[in-house]
């Protein structure tokens, strides 16, 4: 069944996968579920965030997460530290959150300063509170098809496939990029015996040969390579579904900066059956999946309470 927000769109606009509208629809669903959860006598879900330094993009991301918490009725806690915090001190803060029974889930906003080992920090996070889905235990559960917290961006993309009734079974899915945050988990999820899933998956990266030929064969393209307008329109076959994960800041001829994806949107949209814009496509769904994971953590749906 199509979601109400899709029904309301003009038919000529159905080529665009509206991540912002989808996120708003899910936000309303989450608020209803949280209101019922609290009415039944439970504590509201509680998400914490650790922010190190003053990276503008990181600050913006965290503000969006806190705002989302407020809108759906979650509690939120922001822990801010200067960029010169030691790795040892940050690990102590992570352990403190691990032991805090009032915190259901938390994130450590990346990137971290160069003197801090991100892998060591991620490994120290309690998997039960790892709502980013980065811990190896949760990644392994995902790979095995077990209940888990999905990494936020892949999880958000799966929601888009579900909400737009995109048939993925038997389709050739090309994943451009192999990061552990997007590319690798996305490839695993699309290949699994599930819906969405059941695709024939090809992973492409910087060492891949015949990139254009491989991309042109795709029924579904998930671009997460981080290079602005890397994929040209003439690399795509007509009717392809394009999920553009790239968020790249470029300067136009007028001197103003704007965000663009990894796919040349203006040209590609004429060929695609569906395509996500940048911004307003995958981005809002990443935060939404994080919030869905937080509610699962509060309800102990992945790791039941002892």
Active site residues: 65, 109, 132
DSSP string, 131-153: TT--SHHHHHHHHTT-S----HH
| CA proximity to 284, closest of 3, 70, 19, 17 | 19
Contact status, residue 85 vs residue 114, Cβ threshold 8 Å: no
**b/e burial code for range 101-137 (CB count within 10 A of at least 16 → b):** eebbbbbbbeebbeebeeeebbebbbbbbbbbbbbee
Partners of residue 130 on adjacent β-strands? 106
> How many Cβ atoms from other residues are within 10 Å of residue 42's Cβ?
12
* CA atoms of 32 and 72, how far apart (whole Å): 8
- What does R_g of the chain's alpha carbons equal in angstroms? 20
Please name the helix (run of DSSP H) or strand (run of DSSP E) that holds residue 42, with its range, or none.
none
> How many Cβ atoms from other residues are within 10 Å of residue 298's Cβ?
22
* CA atoms of 270 and 275, how far apart (whole Å): 10
């Amino acid at each position: 069944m199509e979601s109400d927000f899709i029904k309301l769109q003009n038919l000529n606009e159905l080529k665009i996968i509206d991540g912002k509208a989808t996120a708003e629809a899910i936000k309303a669903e989450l608020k209803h579920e949280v209101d019922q959860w609290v009415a039944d006598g439970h504590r509201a879900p509680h998400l914490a965030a650790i922010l190190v330094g003053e990276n503008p993009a990181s600050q913006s991301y965290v503000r969006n997460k806190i705002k989302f918490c407020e809108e759906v009725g979650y509690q939120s806690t922001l822990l801010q530290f200067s960029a010169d915090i030691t790795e040892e001190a940050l690990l102590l803060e992570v352990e403190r959150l691990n032991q805090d029974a009032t915190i259901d889930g938390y994130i450590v906003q990346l990137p971290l300063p160069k003197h801090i080992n991100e892998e060591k920090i991620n490994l120290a996070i309690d998997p039960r509170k790892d709502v980013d889905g980065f811990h190896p235990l949760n990644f392994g559960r995902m790979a095995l098809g077990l209940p888990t917290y999905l990494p936020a961006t892949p999880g958000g993309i799966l929601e888009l496939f579900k909400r737009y009734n995109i048939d993925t079974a038997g389709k050739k899915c090309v994943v451009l990029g192999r990061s552990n945050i997007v590319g690798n988990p996305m490839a695993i999820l699309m290949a699994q015996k599930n819906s969405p899933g059941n695709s024939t998956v090809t992973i492409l990266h910087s060492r891949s040969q015949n990139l254009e030929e491989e991309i042109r064969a795709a029924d579904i393209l998930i671009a997460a390579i981080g290079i602005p307008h890397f994929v040209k329109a003439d690399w795509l076959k007509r009717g392809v579904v394009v999920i553009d994960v790239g968020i790249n800041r470029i300067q136009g001829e007028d001197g103003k900066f704007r965000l663009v994806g990894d796919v040349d949107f203006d040209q590609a949209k004429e060929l695609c059956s569906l395509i996500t814009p940048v911004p307003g496509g995958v981005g809002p769904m990443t935060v939404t999946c994080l919030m869905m994971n937080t509610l699962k953590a509060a309800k102990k749906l992945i790791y039941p309470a002892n």
